[in-house]
Amino acid sequence: MNALYPIHPADPAIHHLTGRQITDLIVELRTEGREFGLLWPSAKPGETIVDGRVLVSLGNVPASTVIDLLALVREFNRRRVREV
């Protein structure tokens, strides 16, 4: 996961993610992104897989969107800590 290189929704690296793993990523994104307003209380792994993409029940965004947002928040926090 790297903020400079977003994951494409059809990336084969995320096809193996289970619902539980996606849930863990959503929880982590909520925790890390709370100060930025990334709360999404209703987000959960979707039951839908489109073209090999696991969707998140949040307007049917690909799981890669959650991963990419989490990478951006982590990168921001890393840079902020270095500046202090």
pLDDT higher than threshold 70 for residue 14: yes
Q: Which helix (H) or strand (E) holds 47?
A: strand 45-50
pTM exceeds 0.95 for this model: no
Look at residue 55 in the predicted model and tell me its pLDDT.
Answer: 65
Q: Which residues pair with 61 in a beta bridge?
A: 56
Longest dimension (CA), the chain: 44
Q: What is the pLDDT of residues 23-78, one digit of tens each?
A: 888 888 888 888 887 766 666 666 666 666 666 666 567 788 888 989 999 998 88
The torsion of the CA quartet 45, 47, 49, 50, rounded to 10 degrees, works out to -100
